[in-house]
Amino acid sequence: MQNKTLKSCLFIFIAFLLVLGSFGMGAVTGYLVPKDLFGGLLGTSATPTPEPCTPVVVTEEGECPACICNFEGSSPKELETLFEPFWEVWGLVHQNYVDQPLDTTAMMRGAIKGMLESLGDKHTSYMDPEEYKQANESLEGEYEGIGAWVDITGDFVEVVSPMKGSPAEAAGLRPKDRVIGINGEDMTGIPGDLVLQRILGPAGEAVVLTIQRGEEVFDVSITRAKIVVPTVDYEMLEDNVAYVALYTFNEFSTPQLRNALDELLAQNPKGLILDLRDNGGGYLVTAIEVASEFIAEGVVMYEEYGDGTRDSYEAKAGGRATEIPLVVLVNEGTASASEIVAGAIQDRGRGTLVGVVTYGKGTVQNWIPLSNEQGGVRITIARWLTPNGNQISEIGLTPEHIVEYTEEDFEAEIDPQLDKAVELILEGAE
């Protein structure tokens, strides 16, 4: 009877944790690695908090009372039957496994990871408390590491883009680079979140990454540093063309962008270049605010849910640069929230895209903290669509003007993409 009671209590406790987690308000979308170093992917979703389900109180003799929810019409008894194989394995391991005592916390977290992996969605995952803490640090300003937006959801950690002025950029890391080894250790089969933990580390310490770039494999040593996440750079170029580079979508992006636009537009430029290259994403709410600085009205994006319903996000009134000629620079490191902005500008005919096809991150994730500081989960809750209803997942955005930026260009300190953008602005001003 005691074992049955324990089993019932554990079952109900886990169900209760899942309920609490499911109803917590998400915080990020995308890479919102990092909030996301992970792309994580990332913005506060405006998705409404689900209505609480009707609780069922279990009070059978010998079981602990608890409140659980009636998922998909399943009764508590049906749920108990569903989980019988799980508890059978749980008991068998406790009774028979060679190494005792068992780490039940690790087993619980492993069960959650397995449950989410069964969905077959690389962007839905579990983070333990330390991983969740790290994921929520980088968009908030500072952390210690190599300074790169990365995607941890595939078979290998993949660079989305290096941050400007970071050790990763200085080391020559590029979008789509795969980290297949760390300090001589093969990372094949190692979960991306664990690989990321090994990449991060104290400032001043070096880490050797084995990088796969296409068919090429090589080692690169990178000295970690205290990373201050860049936000906005701006200047007036020659020929009176305004230039703004936006590096991420965090809480500082909108006010800094507005300040930059105020200063630049006061000089009456012929046009404006918005540089979203190597912008790995950020907060969804920030993406809508940024897009609204360039789009006077209308839909910026749609969120499409599993049942086919859609929520629309409209441009906010009062944008500073809704009339000025506009060119947007994009590349393979333009991902998530930055693709939302670029896609809205392209679809609404507000500006022209120059560069190469973007990363292709077109799903929306809620990052939900679990109770009692047990980490968090990232759950795909929707796909986002451009104003014309186009999906970009695994596809990306195709610029009107395809212009490559090669290694030779970098070494020669020339920027053909920026040059093309300036050319288009000046042509329009004639």
Domains present along the chain, CATH in parentheses: 2-26+46-120 (no CATH), 142-228 (2.30.42.10), 232-429 (3.90.226.10)
161 is catalytic: no
Give the angle 254-405-262 at the CA atoms, nearest 5°. Answer: 25
**What's this model's pTM, rounded to 2 decimal places?**
0.67
C-alpha distance from residue 285 to each of 27, 174, 315, 346, 408 (Å)? 10, 27, 11, 19, 37
**Tally: H helices and E strands in the chain:** 12, 21
Closest listed residue to residue 354, CA positions, set 325, 390, 323: 325
Tens digits of per-residue pLDDT, 137-164? 555 556 789 998 888 777 899 998 888 8
Higher pLDDT, 176 or 331: 331
Task: Choose the catalytic residue: 7, 35, 361, 420.
Answer: 361
The pLDDT of residue 371: 87
Q: Please name the helix (run of DSSP H) or strand (run of DSSP E) that holds residue 131, with its range, or none.
A: helix 129-135
Q: Among the options 8, 166, 253, 336, which is catalytic?
A: 336
User: Residues 243-280: pLDDT tens digits?
Assistant: 999 998 988 999 999 999 999 999 999 999 999 998 98
CA angle, residues 339, 216, 187, in degrees to nearest 5: 80
Q: Structure tokens of 320?
A: 């500073």
| pLDDT-based confidence at residue 120 (cuts at 50, 70, 90) | confident
Is residue 336 part of the annotated active site? The answer reads: yes
Query: Is 347 noted as a catalytic residue in this protein?
Result: yes
pLDDT at 99 over 50: yes
| Residue 280 zone, left/alpha/beta (φ > 0; ψ -120 to 50; rest) | alpha
DSSP code for 3 = H
Predicted local confidence at residue 134, as pLDDT: 63
Structure confidence at residue 282 as a pLDDT band (50, 70, 90): confident
Q: Residue 179 in 3-state DSSP? A: strand
- β-bridge pairing 363-369 and 352-355: unpaired
Q: Is the CB of residue 195 less than 8 Å from the CB of residue 211? A: no
* CA proximity to 242, closest of 122, 421, 38: 421
pLDDT at 152: 79
Q: Which residues have a Cβ under 8 Å from the Cβ of 108 and sit 6 or more positions away? A: 14
- Per the prediction, the chain carries an average pLDDT of 81
Q: State which amino acid sits at residue 375.
A: G
Specify the higher pLDDT residue, 44 or 276. Answer: 276
Tell me 399's DSSP state: P
User: pLDDT tier at 22 (50, 70, 90 boundaries)?
Assistant: very low
Single out the catalytic residue among 347, 393, 419, 420. 347
